[in-house]
Structure 1
Amino acid sequence: MAVFRHPDRHRIAVLVRPGLLPMELGIVHQLFSQAAGPDGQPLYEVVTCAATPGQVRTTADFPVGVAHGPEALAEADTVFVPASDEDYAPPADGRLTPELADALGRIRPHARIASICTGAFVLAGAGLLDGRRATTHWNAVDRFRSRYPDVDLDPDVLYVDEGTVLTSAGEASGIDLCLHMIRQDHGSAVANEVARSTVVPAHRDGGQAQFIRRAVPEPGQSSTGRAREWALRNLGDVLTLRELASRESMSVRTFTRRFRDETGMSPLQWLTRQRVERARQLLEETDLPVDRIARDAGFGTAASLRQHLRAQLGTSPSAYRSTFHGA
């Protein structure tokens, strides 16, 4: 008997384990179930499965009843692996239990697989992250690195997209990852509508560096928020680091350090990301020529826009517009 009822929709299986963090299961169901096409029809179907179906222990005072076993993984287009409290004491050798390894072995070769929080331990244990860039919760970084030295772990980002393998940081960054995946599948308009419905930002700037406990700032220290707001209003202009720093009455050196502390990236990296997002919006929502979009987004020339879009999205402006315009 088929697990999924709508084979024409993108099929998502969430593989849960004992010690599940309930919020992470809810995130996937809530966000993907709200994504709809122009006709109002759902774009995804989401089911929950476990290596052994039945009552699955959670970190809350209630279990989750899981009707589907690992057979759901063999039908899925995308598989999510949320965190478990067991990830904080994984086997010293990093190996998976035979039951979990068997379940993961059912995933189709070309399916997309994503983890939330310390679910990355499972992906790493299965060898799916070897030689790849990945992330996990900042509090688990040392344990992760000691067990999986072949993974290029980046602890400073909210999520990492390696194509068919994606990882995210803490629980809430699972929201960022899900919205990113919806955006990649169906464009910003669909992802933005899901974000509005859920009352969350469509895109969060920065990375985990914002959430790692730090010393309390000295009195009178200024943030870089005003400079970022001003930059977003003036993306089409030539923006220099000195000009951004002057908005906060800081030296370039101090501004750069505090900007990285607050956003998890350099001012140039942040500015480039914002300009790419602005170009994506204009490609999706307008019929402006590529030269005009390049100027309005701050890239100056169509050649520069093509270079940055290729680097970040792996596509050209014309191909992106063909896929997502009017979505």
Structure 2
Amino acid sequence: MATPFKRLCVRAARSHPPSLRPFSSSPTPLAKPPSTNAANPSLTPFPAEEPVLDPVYEDDDISSLGHAELDQHRELREMVRIAAWEMPALTALHKRFKAPDRRQLPLRWRYTTYMGESHPAARKVVVEFRPQDLPELDAQQKAKLLKLAGPRWNPRTGVVKMSCESFETQAQNKRFLGDTIEKLVAEARDTEGDSFADVPLDTRHVKAAARPRFPTEWLLTVERKAELEALRRGQVLEEGRKVEGGLLVSGVGAIERERRVEAKRVEEPIMAAAKTPVSGGKMGRKEMGQLRVRR
């Protein structure tokens, strides 16, 4: 099919000479948009488009990095201005710190955070309190509270420690601990029903760890120091007598003597071979390495 198409192209080129086929590099002008007139009012005119010209860059501005530096400089100046003019005015609101009373705030809460990272242990809440800091309980009620707390009470520190991580958020776990403490205190106040007076306080959950103590026999007293000094002085005198009598064995001297014996043992075969007479003639020159090899 390519051959008939080629023939048609050749015929078209011959029928239209180059003088009648103008070529131009300029684009073909677009048709003008129709305009409204009285004859055809249904035609809508195109909106007039104004040419958008790029603003001329006159080299009177700085880069974006420079603007960032200026913003940082402005922020620092604002902070210095606040420190110089507004911070001194806060001295009028100064109050002396007063440590809170444990009787007013008996509960001590502890939370765990991982600085924005999600972790299963972040929901755990721990609360500690001392039964002695609860003024609304008497001695009998405090004893009942300790028996109800069970192994959560440490008799060494006198602190009841409880924790919860059963719920998804810290607020839920804290609310659960607060409700549990309220129920515990309410049950401890009820001494008419059952005061637990016949139940002994169980402290088997606390096991005393044996701490090694320094033996008193090892302490350096004045008499012991004098005895050790006399013993060291006697050892020094005895060593001096051995050195003078030649009875003290020196390790360095023994090593040097052994090295001399070993060096002498190695040198003897070499000297014996050097003293052996060399045979004369061709065999003698061969043994001395003086025989020239002929090619």
Smaller-chain TM-score bracket: under 0.3
TM-score (norm 1): 0.14
Q: Comparing both chains, which one has the higher relative contact order based on Cα–Cα distances under 8 Å and sequence gaps of 6 or more?
A: 1
Q: Which has the higher strand share?
A: 1
